[in-house]
Amino acid sequence: MFRALSNIRRLVHAARVLAAHDALVPHEYLGTMPFSVRVMRRVLGTRETDAEGVAAGVRLSRALESLGPAYIKLGQVLATRPDLIGEDVALALETLQDRLPPFPTAVAEAEVEAALRKPLPDLFSSFGDAVAAASIAQVHEAQTTDDSARRVAVKVLRPSIEQQFAEDLSAFAFAAKLAERFSAEARRLRLSAVVDTLATSVALELDLRMEAAAASELRENTKTDEDFRVPDVDWDRTAERVMTAEWIDGVSVRDPAALAAAGHHPGRIAVVVVRSFLAQALRDGFFHADMHQGNLFVDADGRLVAVDFGIMGRLDPDMRRFLAETLNGFLNRDYMRVAQVHYDAGFVPRTHPIETFAQALRAIGEPIFGRSAQDMSMGRLLQQLFETTRRFDMALQPQLVLLQKTMMVVEGVARALDPEFDIWAASRPVVERWMVQSVGPEARLRDAAEGIEALSRAAQHLPQLLRDAESISQMLAEGGLRLHPETMRHFAEVQIRRAKHIRIAIWLAAAALALLAISALLIR
Considering only CA atoms, which of 382, 376, 381 is closest in space to residue 400?
382
- Whole-model pTM? 0.73
Cα–Cα distance for residue pair 205/191, rounded to 1 Å:
21
- Buried-exposed string 134-173: b where 16+ CB fall within 10 A, e elsewhere: bbbbbbbbbebeeeeeeebbbbbbbeebbebbeebbbbbb
Per the residue annotation, which of 22, 227, 234, 290 is the catalytic one? 290
Is residue 412 within 8 A of residue 406, CB to CB? The reply is no
pLDDT digits (tens, 9 = 90+) for 425-459: 888 888 888 888 766 555 555 445 555 655 556 56
The Cα–Cα gap between 380 and 398 comes to 17
Residue-wise pLDDT tens digits, 378-401? 777 887 887 788 788 877 677 777
88 is catalytic: no
Output DSSP code: residue 281. Answer: I
- CA 319 to CA 38: how far, in whole Å? 46
Q: What is the pLDDT of residue 134?
A: 86
Neighbour tally for 495: CB within 10 Å: 10
pLDDT value at position 506? 45
DSSP, collapsed to helix, strand or coil, labels residue 255 as coil
* 298 burial type by CB count under 10 A (0-12 exposed, 13-18 middle, 19+ buried): buried
Give the model's pLDDT for residue 52. 61
Dihedral in degrees, nearest 10, Cα atoms 455, 456, 457, 463? 100
Backbone angles phi, psi at 152, to 5 degrees: -135, 160
Q: What is the pLDDT of residue 35?
A: 59
Quick one: how far is CA 123 from the chain centroid?
33
pLDDT per residue as tens, the chain (524 positions): 677 888 888 888 888 888 888 877 677 666 666 656 666 666 666 665 555 668 888 888 888 888 888 888 888 777 766 666 777 787 788 767 677 889 999 999 999 999 999 999 999 999 999 999 988 899 999 999 988 889 999 999 999 999 988 988 899 899 888 888 888 767 766 788 878 877 887 888 899 999 999 999 999 999 999 999 999 999 999 999 999 999 999 999 999 999 999 999 999 999 999 999 999 999 999 999 989 888 999 999 999 999 999 889 899 998 898 888 888 888 888 999 999 999 988 888 888 899 999 999 999 888 877 666 667 777 778 878 877 887 888 776 777 778 888 888 899 899 999 988 888 888 888 888 888 876 655 555 544 555 565 555 656 666 666 666 666 566 556 655 555 555 555 555 555 555 554 444 444 444 444 444 444 444 44
